[in-house]
Structure 1
Amino acid sequence: MILTQVSEQQNIRPYKVPILTRIISRIYSELLDLKWWLLSLFTAAFFAISWILFRFAGETEITESLTTYIYFAATTASTVGYGDMSPQTQTGRLIAAFWFFPGALLVFSAFLGRLAGGMVERIRRMADGLGSYEKLKGATVIVGYHRDHTPVMIENLIAGQDGDKDIVLLTKNSDVDLPEGIKLVKSDRLDALSSLKRAAIAEAEKVMVYAGSDAETFNTCLAIRELNEKLHIAAFFEDRDTARRAAKLAGLEAIVSNASEALVRAAQDPGAGKVLKALSAANVGATIYSATVNAQTDTSALKLALDASNATLICVSQDGGHDFAFAPFPPLVKEGSAFFYLCQKRLSAQQIAGGFGGGHVSITV
């Protein structure tokens, strides 16, 4: 008895689904999803069959050329119906009424629905932070989100008038509150190369990193530098040693909290804390801005040029930006050196150069 059961089990063969059944099932599945390739195939087949039917019905005006037929099909399917072309024979009119009109409307509606659905899905993904801005160039990217700080950073970016037209925020937070027009990218990791690419880092102009910890900020800065070697990175650190190492290894501008210094200034010179805050905000009073001279420039002439625009020279950064010279200033500002000035708003390169009394001075802002 046992041997008989074993023999019967060995004779059992797995049931194989016929190839035709699998093909039909696949097509049905693709049809439910309204795949582009299948929709295009059905559309081509429908219009080809319709052309043949109209041709046999004697509708020579409609089928005389491909351009004419496409024009007739397009005006009919879109319900525009200019009326300058229509079937003339009885058979042609029957074909149009019971076959072509409903079929063309169905095809047109399917294409329109598929296109609208794709656009809505893309917009939804972008709004949910799941989209990609990899091809965006010249963007300003903020990595990390803090409910109390990030909106202020964005406000200052816009007020700073530095051409921050496209601002992209990369965050791990699921709940963010952003001004209109800010592009959102969400990811589980801020230092993931794929996420940074989606946030337009590869072609960005500048980036600010303010992650949840110094370690995460450090790793993110290294990943950013891997994607873009020339990008200007400004990153916030709590620890000064970490900030120093990050500045050296990742070639970034490290910002460390100056709360202790500001506290001392406020204690020794009442009101100094408010002044420091105002100088840092682009939307409150005068603000510190910077520019670069592209040729060796006389410092006195530079001061006069700034004075002409109600701006005040604060300091000059020479020798690769490691040293800052305050008053008394050096007599000459070297080529490629940055200078910092105080003004109500950012000055354009033309405004600064125009203050040199007609002399040709190249300035980069």
Structure 2
Amino acid sequence: MPIIQLLISRIYQHVIELKLWLLATLICAYLLISWALFALAGESGLTSNPLTFIYFAATTASTVGYGDLSPETDAGRMVAAFWFFPGALLIFSAVLGRLTGVLVEGVRRMADGNGNYERVQNATVIVGYHRDKTPLMVENLIAGQDGDDKIILLATSKNVDIPEGIRLIRADRLDALQSLKRAAIAGAQKVLVYAGTDAETFNTCLAIRELNTDVHIAAYFEDRDTARRAGKLANIEPVVSNACESLVRAAQDPGAGQILMALSTAGFGATIYSAIVEADGTTGTASIDTSLSSSNGTLIAVRQPGNKDFLFRPFPKELASGGSIYYLSNERLSASDISNGLEGANVRITI
């Protein structure tokens, strides 16, 4: 007896929740019974071809009712009036309700940060949330014109206020591999890490590198030694606050602090941008400088491939293939803008 009660209870629960397997079973059973009743009523026009019967059932259930198919016998009309029409409407309503529920639940989960973007490729991922700083980071990413059309935010905070269009992943820990996977780290284009503490930032960078060995990671640290270790061990680009240096520059050279702030803010005057120069051989830095000047850009530094040191004026005469250039411009220049007029064989610019 308890087994029967348990079975009935479970079936009742599945009926209430409109489980997909139960709904599919009911639809199949309903169509088979309906087909048998129409066949017994002599409705050969409806039952002789299975596709014709499915078409008739679909148009009837959806209340479209084209009128090209209908029962012709009195018995068939009785079956339609007392069995088929009520059942079709009931099942159609149940399917529509179940589908709407699934869609609403999916949207709600995404809005609450419980979604999964693991299959998203080439996204820009921000790890960590700060109420005042994160919206500004998003604004600068978009203004930087570097293809940041898919931005995903991984946050532990319950109260998150982000611009429209930003995808949210909520987690208990920023360095949890499962949470980072949901935030599309494995296929990310670039990652920005700004956690609450240097220790959390360090662990998060290591976890990200475990999932993606090639993605460029920029992470903020308060402590310079921690930043140096993270750069070496996790192969990231650490960023340390230069507030002290900026304060001294502003005191010694009035206005210098404001200029430094403007140079790091996309969309506000000239900004520092970068590009990679590839060629069959080397490329002359003089021609790079001239090409940038013709597009209202100013070359400020270069870096040879495999060397972390930045080289300022006077620049080396040649830049090896794979070297990076850094320039000032009011907007990011296109590859054709930079390569226009460059000397060398088969020069390619990667933005």
Q: TM-score scaled to structure 1, two decimals?
A: 0.94
Query: How far apart, in 2, do the equivalents of 1:66 and 1:286 lie?
Result: 69
Decide which structure has the larger Cα Rg and report it: 1
1:148, distance to aligned residue in structure 2 (A)? 1.3
1:352, distance to aligned residue in structure 2 (A)? 1.3
Query: How far apart, in 2, do the equivalents of 1:148 and 1:340 lie?
Result: 29
Q: Which residues in structure 2 correspond to 1:1-365 (within 5 Å)?
A: 17-18=2-3, 20-295=4-279, 296-356=282-342, 360-365=346-351
The residue that corresponds to 1:4 in the other structure is none
1:300, distance to aligned residue in structure 2 (A)? 1.0
Gaps of 5+ in 1: 1-15
Letter in 2 for 1:162: D
Letter in 1 for 2:178: S
1:311, distance to aligned residue in structure 2 (A)? 0.5
* Corresponding residue pairs, total: 349
Query: How far apart, in 1, do the equivalents of 2:290 and 2:94 lie?
Result: 68
1:319, distance to aligned residue in structure 2 (A)? 4.1
Query: How far apart, in 1, do the equivalents of 2:85 and 2:112 lie?
Result: 40
1:21, distance to aligned residue in structure 2 (A)? 3.2
Query: How far apart, in 2, do the equivalents of 1:283 and 1:172 lie?
Result: 29
Query: How far apart, in 1, do the equivalents of 2:341 and 2:91 lie?
Result: 65
User: Is this contact kept in 2: 1:309–1:355, CA < 8 A?
Assistant: no
User: Is this contact kept in 2: 1:297–1:335, CA < 8 A?
Assistant: yes
Query: How far apart, in 1, do the equivalents of 2:341 and 2:46 lie?
Result: 71
1:122, distance to aligned residue in structure 2 (A)? 0.5
Query: How far apart, in 2, do the equivalents of 1:219 and 1:228 lie?
Result: 14
Letter in 2 for 1:51: W
1:24, distance to aligned residue in structure 2 (A)? 2.2
Query: How far apart, in 2, do the equivalents of 1:319 and 1:40 lie?
Result: 60
Query: How far apart, in 2, do the equivalents of 1:360 and 1:347 lie?
Result: 19
* Percent of aligned pairs sharing the same letter: 62
Query: How far apart, in 1, do the equivalents of 2:28 and 2:294 lie?
Result: 69
Letter in 2 for 1:246: A
Q: TM-score scaled to structure 2, two decimals?
A: 0.97
User: Is this contact kept in 2: 1:293–1:364, CA < 8 A?
Assistant: yes
User: Secondary structure in 2 aligned to 1:248?
Assistant: helix
1:22, distance to aligned residue in structure 2 (A)? 2.7
The residue that corresponds to 1:13 in the other structure is none
1:361, distance to aligned residue in structure 2 (A)? 1.8
The residue that corresponds to 1:9 in the other structure is none
CA RMSD of aligned residues (A): 1.2
User: Is this contact kept in 1: 2:43–2:73, CA < 8 A?
Assistant: yes
1:174, distance to aligned residue in structure 2 (A)? 0.6
Letter in 1 for 2:143: A
1:354, distance to aligned residue in structure 2 (A)? 2.5
User: Is this contact kept in 1: 2:122–2:189, CA < 8 A?
Assistant: yes
